[in-house]
């Protein structure tokens, strides 16, 4: 059941978009689509364009702070729109930002927000961004929760999906229920939400079950199964 109005978190959507040259040529702007959709619900939306790494950093450190000053009492939902794949995102100037680098940009923002940062990764395979939380040695998580897709969504699926997400959150739905509605409305079954602490804990449990001795023995077995010429090459390397 949706939360009653007095218990709902006041939020605004802060969009950082980094369109490709083709998107710019065709005047495709996800930021404009998101803004039009969320403003129908009375949700404030701020859109910034980041064509380079320097601009992206400025959007996070300066633009977000300015937006929060204009909207006191409201928490931001960070919406990052860019082309990408399972390894990270690409900015307008073709700079590739892998997940480890994006993680370093997000960690101080999440800290400044008291660990409450929700990131909506609007990129192909954006759900792979959960890797940013898989660092058991680091207590500083890059986000509270991440929403993204596991495949390559169409423009229509993205627009309908995120419009639905923000609409449901505005009416007081919990984020898991809002993402479930997002899947139904968009027809894309690979939209998911994951909390950073859950990702890290799952990763810790996974690696704790790995035996270094067994792993080494398995690798030696693989080497033993190599053809004779490959074994000779391995001996040279040793």
pLDDT at residue 199, rounded to an integer: 78
Q: Which of 35-49, 147-161, 197-211 has the lowest mean pLDDT?
A: 197-211
Task: Assess contact for 80 and 142: CB atoms under 8 A.
Answer: no
pLDDT at residue 9, rounded to an integer: 87
Between the two ends of the chain, the Cα-to-Cα distance in Å is 63
Nearest to 155 by CA among 17, 57, 6, 56: 17
Query: What is the domain count for the chain?
Result: 1
pLDDT band at 234 (very low <50, low <70, confident <90, very high): very low
Q: What is the mean pLDDT of residues 67-89?
A: 95
Where does residue 105 rank: exposed (0-12), middle (13-18), buried (19+ CB within 10 A)? middle
Choice between 40 and 208, residue whose per-residue pLDDT is larger? 40
Nearest to 92 by CA among 120, 57, 51: 51
Q: What is the DSSP string of the chain?
A: -PPPGGGSPPEEEEEEEE--HHHHHTT--HHHHHHHHHHTTT--EEEEE--SHHHHHHIIIIIHHHHHHHSTT-EEEEEEEEEEETTEEE-TT--EEEHHHHHHHHHHHHHHTTS--EEEEESTTGGGGGGGG--TT----S-SEEEEESS---HHHHHHHHHHHHHHHHTT--HHHHHHHHHHHH--TTEEEEEHHHHHHHHHHHHHT--HHHHHHHHHHHHHTS-HHHHHHHHHH-
d(CA 146, CA 161): 15
Provide the domain limits for residue 114: 5-237
The pLDDT tens digits of the residues spanning 90-124 come to: 999 999 999 999 999 999 999 999 999 999 999 99
The pLDDT tens digits of the residues spanning 174-183 come to: 999 999 999 9
Percentage of the residues of the chain whose pLDDT score is greater than 90: 71
- Tell me what the pLDDT averaged over the chain comes to: 89
Question: 115 is written with which tokens?
Answer: 């660990």
Q: What is the CATH number of the domain that holds 71?
A: 3.40.50.2300
Q: What is the mean pLDDT of residues 23-38?
A: 93
Check: pTM over 0.75? Answer yes or no. Answer: yes
Q: CA 152 → CA 4, 191, 209, 233, 235, distances in Å?
A: 35, 11, 32, 41, 43
d(CA 57, CA 106): 10
The pLDDT tens digits of the residues spanning 132-144 come to: 999 888 888 999 9
């Amino acid at each position: 059941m949706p939360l009653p109005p007095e218990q709902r978190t006041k939020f605004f959507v802060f969009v950082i978009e980094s369109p490709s040259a083709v998107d710019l040529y065709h005047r495709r702007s996800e930021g404009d689509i998101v803004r039009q959709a969320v403003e129908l619900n009375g949700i404030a939306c701020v859109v910034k364009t980041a064509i380079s790494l320097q601009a992206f950093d400025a959007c996070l450190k300066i633009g977000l702070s300015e937006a929060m000053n204009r909207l006191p009492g409201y928490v931001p939902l960070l919406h990052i729109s860019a082309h990408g794949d399972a390894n990270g995102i690409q900015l307008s100037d073709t700079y590739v930002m892998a997940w480890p680098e994006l993680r370093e940009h997000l960690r101080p923002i999440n800290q400044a927000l008291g660990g409450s940062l929700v990131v909506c990764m609007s990129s192909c395979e954006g759900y792979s961004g959960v890797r940013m939380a898989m660092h058991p040695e680091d207590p500083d998580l890059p986000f509270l929760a991440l929403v993204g897709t596991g495949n390559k969504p169409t423009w229509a699926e993205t627009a309908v999906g995120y419009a639905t997400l923000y609409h449901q959150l505005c009416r007081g739905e919990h984020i898991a229920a809002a993402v479930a509605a997002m899947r139904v409305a968009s027809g894309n079954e690979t939209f998911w939400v994951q909390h950073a602490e859950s990702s890290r804990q799952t990763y810790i449990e996974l690696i704790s079950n790995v035996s270094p001795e067994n792993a080494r023995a398995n690798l030696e077995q693989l080497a033993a199964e190599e053809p004779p010429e490959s074994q000779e090459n391995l001996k040279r390397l040793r």
